[in-house]
């Protein structure tokens, strides 16, 4: 295992050296064997005790140089100039077998100089949730950070009640956040901001020339396009991030921070599950508006470096670019291969009906595909019957066209998502058993979202209570 440390070359203003605390009894609960292979550390699969040591802070691998990264961020709209990794340690970067350099970070590994009032720890359930949800998102083909492992520390974490503690190891394209740019911009530290920009460009957007006089504006546009893609992917699968603060918005365009996330059940666009999101700022359907807002904060930070009208123009064009991607996403969900001027109306009509009749989001698209291929039990989507006639008409009656539409829908609409009640049941079972074993069947099912497996059906069921009393927490 050979760690590289490119982020450290940016200089001491970017991080604090920090030692993880050494847990007394590290025990490997979940290990991502496939990811370990990809990271070229597959040999650790046969050495769980060694892996538990390395990925809990009990033992620092020889080439690791743990650091906590500095960043700021807007939290629920309010700027905090000093956040940073308060409970995470970046061990360094490992090379994926594709050649990409990936960050390997322990989370829940003890306090750092950025901890403020926090204890630096993570409870077992949120650590397992991060593993399960990010694995599900990866299988769904949504850009995301991933998890290599969850290690129980054997030590309690004190929340409302004492809970089992754990360290989750996150693998990310990088940990540069919108809040990292805001951190240096707030200090008017132009030199660091430019270093960060050049680094982020070369790591994530290498097609941009770092000698270009408008590189910051080009970078902003590239980040916006990635974020638009990301949010449309969330909408495609019914993901609610829950805490889209600018410090939880990765420049790479990956989903990051699975604290209070949840999945949409019945189609209710203003769905919010996070216990602290009283105003619904991060509701399902508000995610596009919030990413726009977050991108405006990135633009402001970059304006410390470059002046000109470009930034405003780019921010103003967000809506138009978003709309194009949004339509493309729903066209795919509906198997519409070609564009027509009436698509937006057809999509809106469907979503309105789904909302009026409180239909399950994931299930509805599966049933629509079945209606197209002739196998749907018609009463389940009865409220959509009139709409279905219009939609089928739009697809056309030529069998080849219908087949192409069906295939596109099957590739776009998951058969299985990590539904909230199933995730909670799995987390509870793992906590009771102090083991990762109860998560394995569920993981196998969610790792195949587009192809049915023997376990798919078991986890397709909707919550009997329609998630009415469901709440999520920031997971600290």
Ligand X SMILES: Nc1ncnc2c1ncn2[C@@H]1O[C@H](COP(=O)(O)OP(=O)(O)OP(=O)(O)O)[C@@H](O)[C@H]1O
Are 206 and 34 in contact by the 8 Å Cβ rule? The answer is no
Does residue 250 sit in helix, strand or coil? Answer: strand
Say which entry of ligand X, Mg ion, none residue 66 contacts (CB below 5 to 8 A, set by partner kind).
Answer: none
- Residue 118 or 308 with smaller CB distance to ligand X: 118
- Residue 134 or 363 with smaller CB distance to ligand X: 134
Among 215-223, 255-263, 428-436, 457-465, the segment contacting ligand X (CB under 6 A): 255-263
- Residue 61 or 120 with smaller CB distance to ligand X: 120
Task: Report the distance separating Cα 70 and Cα 105, nearest Å.
Answer: 14
Task: Report the distance separating Cα 257 and Cα 83, nearest Å.
Answer: 14
Task: Report the distance separating Cα 366 and Cα 322, nearest Å.
Answer: 25
The contact mask relative to ligand X for 259-278 (x = CB under 6 A, - = no) is x-------------------
Say which entry of ligand X, Mg ion, none residue 261 contacts (CB below 5 to 8 A, set by partner kind).
Answer: none
110 labelled binding-site residue: no
Does residue 121 sit in helix, strand or coil? Answer: strand
Q: Is 373 in the site for ligand X (CB under 6 A)?
A: no
**CA distances from residue 466 to 147, 358, 414 in whole angstroms, order as listed:** 29, 10, 19
Picking from 234, 243, 228, 227, the residue whose alpha carbon sits closest to that of residue 279 is 243
Q: Is 476 in the site for ligand X (CB under 6 A)?
A: yes
Say which entry of ligand X, Mg ion, none residue 51 contacts (CB below 5 to 8 A, set by partner kind).
Answer: none
Minimum gap (Å) between residue 408 Cβ and ligand X = 34
Given candidates 115, 163, 373, 435, which one binds ligand X under the rule CB under 6 A? Answer: 115
Q: Token pair for residue 191?
A: 């030199």
- Residue 148 or 208 with smaller CB distance to ligand X: 148
Q: Token pair for residue 442?
A: 């569920």
Are 93 and 5 in contact by the 8 Å Cβ rule? The answer is yes
Q: Are strands 67-69 and 239-240 parallel, antiparallel or unpaired?
A: unpaired
Task: Report the distance separating Cα 469 and Cα 168, nearest Å.
Answer: 28
> Which residue's entry shows tokens 């990925």?
55
248 labelled binding-site residue: yes
Per-residue exposure over 126-150, b if at least 16 CB sit within 10 Å of its own CB, e if not: bbbbbbbbbbbbbbbebbbbbbbbb
257 labelled binding-site residue: yes
Are 133 and 126 in contact by the 8 Å Cβ rule? The answer is no
Say which entry of ligand X, Mg ion, none residue 277 contacts (CB below 5 to 8 A, set by partner kind).
Answer: none
Does residue 417 sit in helix, strand or coil? Answer: coil
385 labelled binding-site residue: no
Q: Point out the residues that are catalytic.
A: 247
Among 47-55, 84-92, 336-344, 374-382, the segment contacting ligand X (CB under 6 A): 84-92
Q: Token pair for residue 444?
A: 């196998």
107 labelled binding-site residue: yes
Q: Is 84 in the site for ligand X (CB under 6 A)?
A: yes
Q: Is 163 in the site for ligand X (CB under 6 A)?
A: no
**CA distances from residue 168 to 83, 105, 187, 472 in whole angstroms, order as listed:** 20, 8, 32, 19
Q: Is 16 in the site for ligand X (CB under 6 A)?
A: no
Size of the site for ligand X (CB under 6 A): 20
Q: Which residue is nearest to Mg ion (CB)?
A: 257
436 labelled binding-site residue: no
- Residue 273 or 322 with smaller CB distance to ligand X: 273
87 labelled binding-site residue: yes
Are 151 and 55 in contact by the 8 Å Cβ rule? The answer is yes
Given candidates 89, 121, 138, 331, which one binds ligand X under the rule CB under 6 A? Answer: 121
211 labelled binding-site residue: no
Q: Is 186 in the site for ligand X (CB under 6 A)?
A: no
Question: Residue 141 forms beta bridges with which residues?
Answer: none
- Residue 68 or 395 with smaller CB distance to ligand X: 68
**Chain residues 232-271 in contact with Mg ion, contact rule CB under 5 A:** 248, 257
Q: Is 474 in the site for ligand X (CB under 6 A)?
A: yes
Binding residues (CB under 5 A) for Mg ion: these are 248, 257
Binding residues (CB under 6 A) for ligand X: these are 83-88, 114-115, 118-121, 243, 247-248, 256-257, 259, 474, 476
């Amino acid at each position: 295992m050979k760690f590289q440390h490119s982020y450290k070359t940016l200089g001491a203003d970017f991080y604090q050296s920090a030692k993880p605390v050494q847990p007394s009894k590290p025990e490997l609960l979940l290990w991502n064997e496939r990811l370990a292979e990809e990271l070229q550390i597959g040999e650790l699969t046969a050495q769980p005790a060694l892996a538990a040591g390395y990925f809990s802070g009990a033992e620092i691998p020889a080439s690791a140089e743990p650091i906590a990264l500095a960043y700021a961020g807007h939290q629920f709209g309010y700027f905090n100039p000093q956040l940073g990794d308060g409970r995470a340690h970046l061990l360094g970067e490992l090379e994926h077998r594709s050649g990409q350099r990936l960050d390997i970070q322990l989370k829940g590994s003890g306090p750092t100089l950025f901890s403020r009032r926090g204890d630096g720890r993570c409870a077992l359930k949120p650590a397992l949730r991060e593993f399960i949800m990010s694995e599900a998102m990866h299988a769904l083909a949504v850009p995301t950070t991933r998890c290599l492992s969850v290690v129980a520390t054997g030590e309690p974490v004190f929340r409302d009640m004492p809970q089992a503690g754990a360290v989750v190891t996150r693998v990310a394209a990088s940990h540069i956040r919108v809040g990292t740019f805001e951190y240096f911009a707030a200090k008017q530290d132009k030199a660091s901001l430019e270093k960060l920009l050049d680094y982020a460009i070369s790591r994530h957007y290498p097609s941009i020339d770092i000698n270009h006089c408008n590189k910051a504006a080009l970078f902003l546009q590239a980040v916006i396009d990635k974020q638009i893609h990301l949010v449309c992917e969330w909408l495609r699968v019914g993901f609610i991030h829950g805490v889209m603060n600018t410090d939880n918005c990765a420049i790479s365009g990956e989903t990051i921070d699975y604290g209070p996330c949840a999945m949409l059940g019945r189609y209710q666009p203003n769905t919010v599950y996070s216990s602290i999101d009283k105003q619904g700022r991060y509701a399902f359907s508000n995610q596009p508006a919030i990413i726009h807002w977050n991108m405006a904060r990135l633009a402001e930070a970059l304006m410390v470096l470059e002046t000109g009208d470009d930034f405003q123009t780019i921010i103003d064009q967000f809506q138009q670019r978003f709309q194009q991607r949004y339509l493309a996403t729903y066209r795919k969900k509906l198997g519409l291969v070609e564009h027509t001027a009436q698509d937006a109306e057809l999509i809106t009509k469907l979503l309105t009906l789904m909302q009026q009749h409180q239909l399950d989001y994931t299930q509805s698209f599966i049933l629509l595909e079945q209606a197209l291929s002739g196998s749907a039990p018609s009463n389940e989507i009865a409220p959509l019957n009139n709409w279905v006639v219009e939609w089928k008409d739009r697809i056309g009656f030529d069998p080849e066209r219908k087949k192409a539409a069906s295939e596109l829908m099957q590739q776009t609409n998951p058969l299985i998502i990590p539904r909230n009640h199933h995730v909670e049941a799995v987390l509870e079972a793992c906590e009771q058993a102090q083991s990762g074993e109860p998560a394995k069947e569920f993981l196998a099912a969610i790792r195949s979202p587009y192809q049915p497996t023997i376990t798919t059906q078991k986890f397709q069921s909707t919550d009997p209570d329609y998630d009415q009393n469901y709440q999520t927490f920031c997971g600290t």
